[in-house]
Structure 1
Amino acid sequence: MKPLYEDLWISTPEFPAEETANDLMMHGFMLRHPRGNLLIGRVEQLLDHEVLADAGGVIRHYFTHWHEAAPGARAIQQRFNSALYCHSRSLGPVSLVIEPDETFTHQDVHFGDFHLLPTPGSCSYLYHSPLGQTYLFVGDTLTRDYHRWISVLVPDSNPAELQQSLELYRSLRPDVVLMSTPRVDISLGRRSIYRAGWPRLMKRNSRRWICASSHCCDYSVLLR
């Protein structure tokens, strides 16, 4: 793992063998919360687990999407006795790998400052850091395709619900957006945002998005 900010670390990039696109990168984030370390996303590398241990362990692990259910998550739960949280719609596939401690369907706030923002296909999280930055962990509802922001429609997506999710994002005004599964070459999943430009970006994405085949990385329409 490596630090992005004083209270936010990113895991070693992972290129899952089961994915069809070899440029699809997955990783997770450790948030150094005053109440204890929070983990967001997928962290599979054993060396990263040692970093977590050196940092004091993990008290809670939050999934943005069911694809983050993997052996590493089970190892983290067993090693640190951390509580696992995921979207209720992800319970079926997640339970095949690891048993969540709690699921959620509606917006909630943990510790008074860590906001859970469920969307139909995944879950996002918003945190106002006491160090001055506002972090938005967007899962894969919004991500980067190299140098373009994209939203993705898969066969079971609901366009109206996707647009509602983007409207929610539009109201948040984050300083930094963090993605679990970008298609990138160098950005490592972090993207700083000018607040004034964020609503305009969300308005554009609410009108145009990428359509995907049953293979979720086989894009058929490019957002310009």
Structure 2
Amino acid sequence: MKALYDDLWISTPEFIEETPDQQRMMHGFMLRHPRGNLVISRLGHPQDLEALAELGGVMRHYLTHWHEASPIGLTLQQRFNSALYCHTRALGPVSRVLEPDATFNFAEQHFGDFDVLPSPGHTPGSTSFLYRSPYGKTYLFVGATLTRAHGRWATVRSEESNQADLAQTLSHYRTLRPDVVLMSHTWGHLSWQEVTLEQWLAAIDDAEQFTLDERESSHAHRPQTPA
């Protein structure tokens, strides 16, 4: 794992094999919260478990959508006694891999400062998480709702995607004021991006015009304009 900020780490990248040029990467993040360490998204490398142990273990694991469910999540539960959280609409597919400890269905605030924001569109149960760090930056974890691909912002289309829901989610994103956007999927780009307000609004404008279709591996790395 690599430290990004005083209270935030990123996992070792996991490359998705079906991408021809191996430019599609998945990442997870560890947030050092005053109440305990939180893992967000997916971890794919066993060596990150040792890093987590050195950093104090894991109290909770939050999934941004069900595609992040993996056997290593079970290892997190067993080794660190961590609790797994996901959206209610992700419960079915997640349960085929892991057993969630709790679900959510609406916007909630955990610990009084960690915002759980349902963000349907990429999948019905997609969720974003917003945290205002005591070190001064506001982090927004967007999962695969937004991504960076070859210098462009884009949305990501899956078999379950719903364009109307996604449009509402992007509209809600416009009301947020992140300093750092953290993505669990990217194509040929770092999985985090610092933004000003102007850059953030421009990123949403860009993403409304371009989408990546992960249903077709031959096009999984190519921005496309929505139909």
Equivalent residue number for residue 36 of structure 1: 36
Worse-superposed segment, 74-83 or 63-72: 63-72
Aligned to 2:158: 154
Gaps of at least 5 residues in structure 2 are none
Partner of 1:74: 74
Instruction: Quote the Cα distance in structure 2 between the aligned partners of 1:3 and 1:139.
Output: 19
Pairwise CA distance, 1:216: 6.6
Superposed displacement of residue 108, structure 1:
0.5
Q: Paired residue for 1:116?
A: 116
Instruction: Find the partner of 1:175 among 179, 182, 196.
Output: 179
Q: How does 1:1-224 map to 2 (within 5 A)?
A: 1-17=1-17, 19-21=18-20, 22-120=22-120, 121=123, 122-185=126-189, 187=190, 189-206=191-208, 208-210=209-211, 212=213, 214-215=215-216, 218-219=219-220, 222=224
Note if contact 1:154-1:216 (Cα within 8 Å) is conserved in structure 2.
no
Alpha-carbon shift at residue 153 of structure 1 (Å): 3.0
Tell me which amino acid in the other structure corresponds to 1:76: L
Q: Take 1:44 and 1:155, find their aligned partners in 2: how far apart are those partners?
A: 23
Tell me the number of residue pairs that the alignment of Structure 1 and Structure 2 aligns.
Answer: 220
Q: Which runs of 5+ in 1 are unaligned?
A: none
Bigger strand fraction = 2
Percent identity over the alignment is 53
Q: Give the TM-score, by structure 2 length.
A: 0.90
Residue 201 (structure 1) shift: 2.8
CA distance in 1, matches of 2:183, 2:70: 18
What's the CA shift string for 1:118-168, capped at 9, x where partnerless?
A: 122211100000000000000011111121100123343221111100011
For 1:203 and 1:3, locate their aligned partners in 2 and report how far apart those are by CA, in whole Å.
30
Moved segments of 4+, more than 6 Å: none
Task: Tell me how large the CA RMSD over aligned residues is.
Answer: 1.9
The change in CA–CA distance for 1:14 and 1:213 in structure 2 (over 3 A counts) is closer
TM-aligned CA deviation for residue 218 of structure 1:
2.5
Q: Which amino acid aligns with 2:68?
A: E
Shift of 1:16: 3.4
